[in-house]
Structure 1
């Protein structure tokens, strides 16, 4: 599959690969019969015969080598069958995912208000995938549409790369199984593609936090491809490195909840916008002095006009707002029985050997930091999207019984914007509905993405019985202020100039 593309993945006829895997499995079965016959029949008779002289040495050795070749051929056929079967299963899954994502992209979401448009999906350069609007508009795509386009392009490109990597691993395993010697069978043997993928995964995991974006993406794909047993081997050996490389990063689509205020800098501003911005700078300063450090920091970053993403301190969010901690705990509680059973089934299937299973879950509705819940986080983020990602492991205890646990983190993401319908009224200062959004359109402020993950926590899911103990608390987190107003001053002066009167 040289220069493998999106079109190749969609059009690939995997029926032939499935047939080949089945044929090799049948051949391995027939060779097993021949190997048994040669070992129990031919070799046994040769060893038991009353040979004498030169004939005894030559004939016995010839029979032994012949019987061994039957065994080697059987092992080679079993290895080839296993590699082809694993490759067929993985490629089939990736093709199915790619077709499903393409259908979703084509249809859009007519039920959303306003409707999400459909997209056209095609090949990009160097194995990438290009996603475009089916119907272009003069004003161009809004932020939500851009997010969807990026999500589909990145996810489909990842599937194409994953398929190409599986193909390369299968080719390597087949070559090693055959050994490239037509007169000598029996070389490397495989029971799956783990033998090729696990060493590469260990190599990438060893980079830890120093892994670049491409290496992290490849590691994530390998992590998902490995069998539960091989994944456990990697996890138990490289856990800290895997966490540092972001193996628990969420893969759910991070899409803006709404269209936002419009295109940045698309309108001309004047005195009214200058006045609105100055009001908001004063509000941000006042919020910081009142202890609303996160609301102040985010507002200052918006007014700073850089548009750069910001990290969310998720541990602090859970510590500040117990209701949000309960929401995260509930996400785990709703899924822990199913996760525990899945790990237990895999543990038993693998003969009591350690297994590791990646999991992620989210609730149907995101969490809303209302003003009555916490005013700081209400003005900092408002409503958020979140999920829980983790690794469920089942390892044998001293008696060989399964000990099941999960290492997990909470993930939060949202977009900071002030679309129509959002105003702010703090103390004596009032900014009416729509004025904050206009700052973005006039280029006086800029929307930005926010995301973050909590520290990783371990929770015992139980052995013989499920565990009902409370889930662990978040790490302690200070707001980090050394003096009042530090964050809002940094946000306002990060590569930007103070507000000035128009035409000043």
Structure 2
């Protein structure tokens, strides 16, 4: 049967659990470290294997074999000191019973209103993030989670470019910020997301058009305008895997300084110093999975780091600005919608 304990989402562990090959004395690697950590979490201390750094060394030596035998004896298994299918299945069941915690129900994708109005003013709309994985540092820290965090950090920039190649540079950067466990805000590459994701570009253009329609109703003069409410959108994996894993669902809105005047013939002219704003809460609440060089990353698996205080959810923010000019009855020139570097 497939293993359910999130920390066992490791290629070496999965192979051992299917006897291809099982783990035995002499084996080495991250999977061995996960096995050692699970046994420690169950009350089988390994002072020799953890004496250098405080976490398991990933070496299947005599101490590890002895602890496997002790576990097998307690579970009425064959006491051979080999971690194979029956041993891992029993270990998986015991770890699930000891540490499992149901995930909160994931929030549905943000609704996409069919219309939107602006208002006079500068106050940004209220943003209500989804619940995420729960309270930070709300459950006991396990050795298996500590080992898994170390294995992930070893494949993330700046130590390695592996994750950037598999899930994308922005996704790897955002994941590293999560694992840094600081809760500091992260300013995303909003220009890059709009350029690389078709629906993100459509959302930006729609926001500009909504602001344009509102400005054209204003009286001659200068006006501060802001969206009445934020509008939701979502990066989908089929469009761009990098931004799907980096952000997923998010909220955007617009604001700016509008100037309405008339030319010598009485035709109305418009100027809008427009700002497009972005917000998302980087969290793990269901619906994503990726494998990076033998490590399967799922929402439950990543959310456990937050609950155990080993990583921390944080706010992603972003903003881009455009100077827009047009006349009554005209569209905004497409070139004005591009970043300065693309004009």
TM-score between the two structures when normalised by the length of structure 2:
0.57
- Do the aligned partners of 1:340 and 1:392 also contact (CA within 8 Å) in 2? no
- Do the aligned partners of 2:193 and 2:200 also contact (CA within 8 Å) in 1? yes
Structure with the higher fraction of residues in strand conformation: 2
Question: What do residues 15-50 of structure 1 show as CA deviations (whole Å, max 9, x unaligned)?
Answer: xxxxxxxxxxxxxxxxxxxxxxxxxxxxxxxxxxxx
Q: CA deviation at 1:384?
A: 0.8
Partner residue, 2:97: none
Partner residue, 2:101: none
What SS is found at the alignment partner of 2:216? helix
Q: CA deviation at 1:301?
A: 0.9
Question: Which of the numbers 387, 401, 407 marks the counterpart of 2:273?
Answer: 407
- Do the aligned partners of 1:312 and 1:452 also contact (CA within 8 Å) in 2? yes
Question: What do residues 391-427 of structure 1 show as CA deviations (whole Å, max 9, x unaligned)?
Answer: 2211233455432122212111011111255443345
- Do the aligned partners of 2:230 and 2:253 also contact (CA within 8 Å) in 1? no
Q: Does 2:134 align with 1:262?
A: yes
Q: Equivalents in 2 of 1:305, 1:299: separation in Å? A: 10
Partner residue, 1:382: 248
CA pair 389-379 structure 1, distance change in 2 beyond 3 A: same
Unaligned runs of 5+ in 1: 1-141, 143-222, 225-247, 348-354, 478-504
Q: Does 2:326 align with 1:457?
A: no
Q: Does 2:198 align with 1:327?
A: no
Q: Equivalents in 2 of 1:393, 1:412: separation in Å? A: 24
Aligned pair count? Answer: 220
Q: Equivalents in 2 of 1:363, 1:289: separation in Å? A: 37
Q: Which has the larger radius of gyration?
A: 1
Q: What's the RMSD between the two structures over aligned residues?
A: 2.9
Q: CA deviation at 1:298?
A: 1.0
Structure with the higher fraction of residues in helix conformation: 1
Partner residue, 1:273: 145
Partner residue, 1:37: none
Superposition map of 1:97-496 within 5 A: 224=121, 251-256=124-129, 258-284=130-156, 285=160, 286-289=162-165, 292-342=168-218, 346-347=219-220, 355-361=221-227, 366-399=232-265, 401-454=267-320, 456-463=321-328, 465-467=329-331, 469-470=333-334, 472-476=337-341
Q: CA deviation at 1:255?
A: 2.4
Q: Equivalents in 1 of 2:319, 2:227: separation in Å? A: 14
Q: Equivalents in 1 of 2:164, 2:254: separation in Å? A: 30
What SS is found at the alignment partner of 2:212? helix
What SS is found at the alignment partner of 1:414? strand
Q: CA deviation at 1:434?
A: 1.0
CA pair 386-283 structure 1, distance change in 2 beyond 3 A: farther
What SS is found at the alignment partner of 1:411? strand
CA pair 341-369 structure 1, distance change in 2 beyond 3 A: same
- Do the aligned partners of 1:315 and 1:475 also contact (CA within 8 Å) in 2? no
* Larger RCO (CA under 8 A, 6+ residues apart): 2
TM-score between the two structures when normalised by the length of structure 1:
0.40
Q: Equivalents in 1 of 2:287, 2:148: separation in Å? A: 16
Question: What do residues 343-383 of structure 1 show as CA deviations (whole Å, max 9, x unaligned)?
Answer: xxx22xxxxxxx11222337875221111111111111111
Unaligned runs of 5+ in 2: 1-103, 105-119
Q: CA deviation at 1:443?
A: 0.8
Partner residue, 2:86: none
Partner residue, 1:175: none
